[in-house]
Amino acid sequence: MSASLVLILLMAVLYAGGVYLLLGRSMTRMLLGFLLVGNATNLLILIIAGPAGVAPIVADGVEPSEMHDPLPEALILTAIVITFGVSAFLLALIYRSWRIARADVITSDEADVAVGGADSSMDDEESNEAEDGSGEDTEFEGRAEAKTS
């Protein structure tokens, strides 16, 4: 099957713009990028679906091969609605972030950074090693019956 050059170019532009926005630090930009990438992906499915046709509605005198492929349509329809739900969720996240931190910008995750700097804590643990050395030669530190009974 041959591809429509216009649609492919448009899809590339949508992907490029979407990814550019997605890589920003602003949550609003990321959401917009998400929407653009969503559109681009729907377009990808549409391109792969093949050439244009009549709406896939059974009617007299319309052959299945003349119709636009209904399966990708169903997939895209699902994708559209889910994208809507997810972007509503992301919007709520943006709002929440703004309300709590007054920030629309994603900063570096402190927990992640802390993991990276963890080897000092390991040294600490090693220095504790001597701490329970007193009971080296017994499990019955200070409670042997010889001393109590």
Q: Which residues ranging from 68 to 97 are in contact with other proteins (CB under 8 A)?
A: 68-71, 73-74, 76-78, 80-89, 91-96
Contacts for 38-41 with beta carbons within 8 Å, 24 or more apart? 38/79, 38/83, 39/14, 40/11, 40/14, 40/15, 41/79
Shortest CB 135 distance to other proteins, Å: 7
- CB 107 to other proteins: min, Å: 8
What part of residues 20-59 is at the interface with other proteins (CB under 8 A)? 20-26, 28-29, 32, 35-36, 39-40, 42-44, 46-59
Q: How far is the CB of 35 from other proteins (least distance, A)?
A: 5
Told to check if 124 binds other proteins by CB under 8 A, we report: no
Is residue 132 near other proteins by the rule CB under 8 A? yes
What is the rounded CA–CA span in Å between residue 85 and residue 131?
56
Length of the chain: 149
In angstroms, what is the minimal distance from the CB of 133 to other proteins? 8
Distance (Å, rounded) from C-alpha 39 to C-alpha 25?
21
How buried is 126 (Cβ within 10 angstroms: 0-12 exposed, 13-18 middle, 19+ buried)? exposed
Q: Does 134 bind other proteins (CB under 8 A)?
A: no
